[in-house]
Amino acid sequence: MYGGRGALVWGCMSASGLVQRRFRQRYNQEPPNANNIRRWHRMFEERGYLCKGKTSGRPRASAENVERISRTYERSPRKLTYEGIRLGVTNATKTVWRVLRKRPKMKPYVIQLVQQLKPEDYGKRMNHATFIQESMEDETMADRLIFSDESTFHISGNVNRYNSRIWGTEKPSTVIEHECNSSKVNVFCSIS
């Protein structure tokens, strides 16, 4: 910052307007504004140098906050990270993420929906797999194939599983009951 040093030296001698004119003449470029010249002069008077001192960096979460966040998510790992703000644990979801990943070494696991298989299901699955395998030998099968998907929106407000996370140090193997007969709206789409 050669201009800052030059402006500071001139600032010690005279008014900021004159400093700006001399700066423009000497360096042939736009001078620093008057506020910066006054600030540099004040910094030099107070500290004796212009360099910005070392900053402490990003403020760290206090030990108390780390302990509170860890305890909260160990007790109820399904709690969403933004709920930490509502509980007064911290004021930023990023802090919750950082603390959970580094201190107790927890990871956010996505809930996987799997169907509970009953003994009678195994035979049905085998029959279906055999049927599909035999159907693939038919050359017209591709013309009759339909790709489809559906999505269910529960009126009760069930949480979208794609946005749900369970925080833990190892992959959870919990069973979550799925509501089957609640009021809902189905959206279906198919491509043939």
CB 74 within 8 A of CB 68: no
* DSSP structure string for the chain: -HHHHHHHHHHHHS-HHHHHHHHHHHH-SPPPPHHHHHHHHHHHHHHS--SPPPP--SPPPPHHHHHHHHHHHHH-TT--TTHHHHTTS-S-HHHHHHHHHHSS--EEEEPPP-PPPPHHHHHHHHHHHHHHHHHTTSTTHHHH--EEEEEEEETT-PPPTTT-EEEESS----------SS-EEEEEEEE-
CB 149 within 8 A of CB 189: yes
> In a structure prediction context, what are the per-residue pLDDT tens digits for the chain, which is 192 residues long?
445 555 545 545 557 788 888 888 888 888 888 888 888 888 878 877 777 767 667 767 777 878 887 777 777 776 766 666 666 666 677 777 787 777 777 777 776 666 677 889 899 989 988 988 888 888 887 777 777 777 666 776 665 555 566 777 777 676 666 666 677 777 777 766
User: Which pLDDT value is given to residue 1?
Assistant: 43
Backbone angles phi, psi at 191, to 5 degrees: -130, 130
Q: What is the dihedral of CA 108, 105, 114, 152, to 10 degrees?
A: -10
Place of tokens 């360096």: 27
Residues 69 and 75: their CA atoms lie apart, in Å, by 10
Indicate the domain borders of the chain.
10-55, 58-133+140-191
